[in-house]
Amino acid sequence: MAGAIEGQRGEMSEGDDYVANVLGSWRNDNIGIMASVAQSNVNLANNFSGVVGLAGNNDWGGSAPQNFISPHGFESFSRTNERKRLGTSVAFEARFGEGYTFVAEGFYAKLEDYNRAIGINISNRWDGAVFGTWSQPDVFEDTGLTGANGRPWLTVDEYDINAHWVNSFTVNRTNTSESYNYNLELKYDNGGKFTYEARLISADANRLSMNGQVQGDLSNWEYAPGRFTLFRNADDRTRGTFYPKEICDTFDASRRSNSVVGNQGGCYINPNPQGYGENPQLHYDISGESPVWSGFDTPITGGLGAGKTLKDYMANLGSYAVGAFSSEGNNEAESTLQVARFDAHYTFDDKAFGLFTKVDGGIRASKRDVSITQFHLFSDFYAGKQDQNGVIQSAGCAAQWKAIDVVMDNPRCARGEMVPSAANPSVMVFQPYTVNRPTRLDQYNNPIFVTDLGGITSGIPGFWAADPGDFDDAAAFMKRVFGGANRVIVPGQSYDVDLTENSAYLAGDFEVGEKIRGNVGVRVINTKIDVRQNVTDPTQYPYGDTNEDIGDVFDQNRYTDVLPSFNMIYDHSDKLRFRFAAAKTMQPLDLGSYGGGLKINTADNGSGGRIVTSAERSGNPGLNPWRAKNFDAAAEYYLGRASMVNVALFYIDIESFVTGGSTSGQFPNPDGSPSYDVPVSLNIQGDGGKVQGVEIGGKFAFDDFLDGGILSNFGIDTNYTFSPSTENRRGIDGDKLPFVNNSEHQYNLVGWYQDEKFQFRVAYNYRSDRVQGLARLSNDDIPTYQEETSYVDINATYDVNPKLSLYLNGSNITGEIESYYYQFAEGKTQFAYQNEYEPRITIGVRAKW
């Protein structure tokens, strides 16, 4: 029997977390049985601050004289990730006569994951008409680069922000999954020259990923007392949000914004009388280590009266109305794996051909299937109400966005009633209902006053937001509040992919004299990929951004790879050893890279309609796998029993790979008009990537150099890697980019102490700047880099006796902050965003008996 239990705690999450496991086994000379159980509940915290919805000010037809980054918005949030895991396994082994051994294993894993985020969004309200004007550079520098549109690019250190939206937001992304894995294996080894193994593997897994979110809107939607910006009725600006009689009757008469009554008793309701009444004018400073906000103490107009500041509105719970409820980007995945393989080995008494001591060969057949269904949750509104023709419809209209700024005026499904025309009261006109009724933030949610967004955001005062735990079951929440939660498929992100591989290999171990030995072989892999994608109609369902599915398309990909490999070791002496390896490699892509289709995104155009702002094409069945040629050479010199130094050279010639990229495209707007050129993110086929470098390392146990004493219990392990790389993509400056996620400099340093009972290690890990992605802004390619990072971890273990140990682990004890930036040219960069991760400590005990 063996087991362990540990407690964990994070500096930010401050939860009392645990991990526990137990293992039991029994055996005799012929049979063995083993079973294990592991369970954990941990909470991991991190913070985010920076850009969301990256865009350029001259995207979508902008004509400003200079180019600069003008995103949808800026966000700061704190996030806690609660993970509940359960894992079990059982194994059986039996030895039969004649050298046969049978092994059967089963594994089960279950995960409940709650990714709860709470924060603030300062943005342009997805208003496509102000994407390039709502944020204006205040402190900036000319990069010296001219964009594809003939205008110079700026890097910005400080922005003046005309905030169309200041709202709190709450998001909870939950993931629940189960997996089952089985292994059956028959081994034959009677001590002779010939041995073999036959193996069957079966696995299946499922995952449901759900999103629930709510926005706490601080605006009263007024540009003057009783005059609404919402829905822009130019003839009578008192006409804002409109609701049927049964909703009107739940509000005091003072909430009515005018005396107009519809033919079914409907009325106009003031959506948020305690909200602010003008766009806050804020300042965003990213010239330092982390973003700094200001402007919250400036008085603004609104429902709280004269002299009140944005800070006052943020502190007042009654100033928050629900801007929108939604459950978007939900995902259900089903996956299976089937593998059958046979491996055989023959050892020669005398070297075959005077060279080979052993030969290995085998065949393998595998099939992986994955089915992905992406969906949003829609709810029905206003069943039994009139359509635009005055006809009572028994069914309601479905809405993805349960929002205060969504009105049911789409001719495909409209609901409302007739009201006197503002221009000519003798004429009755159709007035559509607003989807979501005026809702206080605390009406359906448990509000939290947020004062701490971590160490990477400053200047933002306290604000109210909903508890993310309210959306631990997003579908149940939507059903409780709106009476239903209907799945509507997102066709561009729903697909089926089958990957079948059949392979065979032959390899031989060889020896040349007493100093040279190695292995040479070849593997042949035949791959078949079958894909079902949905055909995406640019038309979107009303009251959301979900494209319609108009059919299926089937595609396939076939290829065969011949992959030779060669490994050799030369023992020059007892202390000096040389190694050399060369191989061709192939790695299939993540199946989502083959299966995803087209998703078109839209935003409000500022005049009551919507325009296409971007698109995503996440899959391509014709993509090639990762293919590369690898060459390695190394020398090792042994200084003692536990000490050595080594140097290695490596070169990787990457023939094909897949990376994130972007291009431009045009798609019909929802009204049928052509869109501007908009950015389209997609996986692209990369080629010509090269990674090469040198690694130098050493392991130094002081006991190999000292004659006793406490210092002989110490040691150092260290390595350094220099790895310059290039691929064929270029940034806006025309220079080739480094390979994605490859740091030119990496080093690790571990100091340790070990005696008969006590062990202690401290590890330092460093990586230099590395490319994370490439975005297309105003038809120019702007790379995003992650700044250099370093982490420090510690571990201590004390063996009380041979069967009982106590241990302490500390991870990220220095609280490293990951920073990202946009690079225009060498030395011409702009802050993008930051992630702050918490230090964590673990205390545990291990025992065996």
Summarised one tens digit per residue, pLDDT across range 432-461 is 999 999 999 999 999 999 999 999 999 999
Q: How far apart are CA 530 and CA 217, in angstroms?
A: 46
Say which residues have a Cβ less than 8 Å from residue 554's Cβ, sequence separation at least 6.
530, 531, 532, 533
- Both 515 and 636 in a single domain? yes
Q: Are 553 and 573 in contact (CB under 8 A)?
A: no
- Both 450 and 551 in a single domain? no
* C-alpha dist (Å) from residue 110 to 23, 181, 480: 18, 12, 27
Q: How far apart are CA 601 and CA 592, in angstroms?
A: 20
In a domain, 71, yes or no: no
Instruction: Give the mean pLDDT of 131-138.
Output: 92
- Both 540 and 641 in a single domain? yes
Could you tell me where the beta strands, DSSP code E, fall in 124-164?
135-146, 152-162
In a domain, 503, yes or no: yes
Number of H helices, E strands in the chain: 5, 49
Q: Residue 609: its pLDDT value, please?
A: 63
Q: How confident is the model at residue 674 (pLDDT cuts 50, 70, 90)?
A: low
* Boundary of a domain, candidates 482, 511, 532: 482
Q: Are 774 and 661 in contact (CB under 8 A)?
A: yes
- Both 829 and 740 in a single domain? yes
Q: Is the pLDDT of residue 513 over 70?
A: yes
In a domain, 89, yes or no: no
- Show the tokens assigned to 791: 């982490």
Q: Residue 833: its pLDDT value, please?
A: 98
Q: Residue 231: its pLDDT value, please?
A: 63
Element (H or E) spanning 739, and its range? none
Looking at 318-322, 707-711, 713-717, which range is the least confident one? 707-711
* C-alpha dist (Å) from residue 824 to 23, 406, 657, 725, 782: 55, 39, 24, 19, 6
Q: Is the pLDDT of residue 289 over 90?
A: yes
Q: How far apart are CA 260 and CA 273, in angstroms?
A: 19
- Both 631 and 519 in a single domain? yes
- Show the tokens assigned to 785: 């880099």
Q: Residue 126: its pLDDT value, please?
A: 79
Q: Are 612 and 598 in contact (CB under 8 A)?
A: no
Q: Is the pLDDT of residue 615 over 90?
A: no
Q: Is the pLDDT of residue 607 over 60?
A: no
Q: Are 80 and 100 in contact (CB under 8 A)?
A: no
pLDDT in tens, 227-277: 888 666 788 999 999 999 999 999 999 999 999 999 999 999 999 999 999
Q: Residue 90: its pLDDT value, please?
A: 99
Q: Is the pLDDT of residue 619 over 90?
A: no
Q: Are 378 and 395 in contact (CB under 8 A)?
A: no
Instruction: Give the mean pLDDT of 12-24.
Output: 93
Q: Is the pLDDT of residue 505 over 90?
A: yes
Q: Residue 617: its pLDDT value, please?
A: 79
In a domain, 26, yes or no: no
Looking at 581-585, 597-601, 623-627, 699-703, which range is the least confident one? 597-601
Could you tell me where the beta strands, DSSP code E, fall in 541-643?
547-571, 576-587, 598-604, 610-617, 626-638
Q: Per 3-state DSSP, what percentage of the chain is helix, strand, and coil (rounded to 5)? A: 5, 65, 30
Q: Are 721 and 745 in contact (CB under 8 A)?
A: yes
Is the four-CA dihedral 653, 657, 661, 663 of positive or negative sign? positive
In a domain, 154, yes or no: no
Q: Is the pLDDT of residue 825 over 90?
A: yes
Q: Is the pLDDT of residue 425 over 90?
A: yes
- Both 793 and 684 in a single domain? no
Into how many domains does the chain fold?
Answer: 3
Q: Residues of the chain with pLDDT > 90: what percent?
A: 84
Q: Residue 15: its pLDDT value, please?
A: 80
pLDDT in tens, 349-394: 999 999 999 999 999 999 999 999 999 999 999 999 999 999 999 9
Q: Closest by alpha carbon to 838, among 12, 6, 8?
A: 12
Q: How far apart are CA 700 and CA 751, in angstroms?
A: 10
In a domain, 695, yes or no: no
Q: How confident is the model at residue 721 (pLDDT cuts 50, 70, 90)?
A: very high
How far does CA 181 lie from the centroid of its chain?
A: 26
Q: Tokens 């545990």 identify what position?
A: 844
DSSP designation for 676: P
- Show the tokens assigned to 252: 């005091």
Q: Residue 145: its pLDDT value, please?
A: 97
- Both 506 and 605 in a single domain? yes
Q: How confident is the model at residue 640 (pLDDT cuts 50, 70, 90)?
A: very high
- The three-point CA angle 55-60-64 to 5° equals 80
- Both 472 and 502 in a single domain? no
Q: Residue 539: its pLDDT value, please?
A: 80
Q: Does pTM surpass 0.75?
A: yes
Question: Given phi > 0 = left and psi -120 to 50 = alpha, else beta, which region is 390?
Answer: left
Instruction: Give the mean pLDDT of 753-761.
Output: 97
Q: Residue 635: its pLDDT value, please?
A: 98
Q: Which amino acid is at 770?
A: R
Residue 783 bridge partners (DSSP): 774
Q: How far apart are CA 840 and CA 238, in angstroms?
A: 55
Q: Are 262 and 431 in contact (CB under 8 A)?
A: yes
- Both 760 and 784 in a single domain? yes
For residue 221, the tally of other CB atoms under 10 A from its CB is 20
Q: Is the pLDDT of residue 709 over 70?
A: yes
Say which residues have a Cβ less than 8 Å from residue 289's Cβ, sequence separation at least 6.
none
Q: Is the pLDDT of residue 608 over 80?
A: no
Q: Is the pLDDT of residue 28 over 60?
A: yes
In a domain, 767, yes or no: yes
Q: How confident is the model at residue 102 (pLDDT cuts 50, 70, 90)?
A: very high
How would you label 2-29 residue by residue, b for 16+ Cβ within 10 Å and e otherwise? ebbebebbbebbebebebebeeeeeeee
Instruction: Give the mean pLDDT of 322-344.
Output: 97
In a domain, 112, yes or no: no
Average pLDDT, the chain: 94
- Both 510 and 613 in a single domain? yes
Structural domain of residue 826, as residue ranges? 711-849
Q: How far apart are CA 159 and CA 176, in angstroms?
A: 41
- Both 676 and 722 in a single domain? no
- Both 634 and 526 in a single domain? yes
Instruction: Give the mean pLDDT of 105-134.
Output: 93
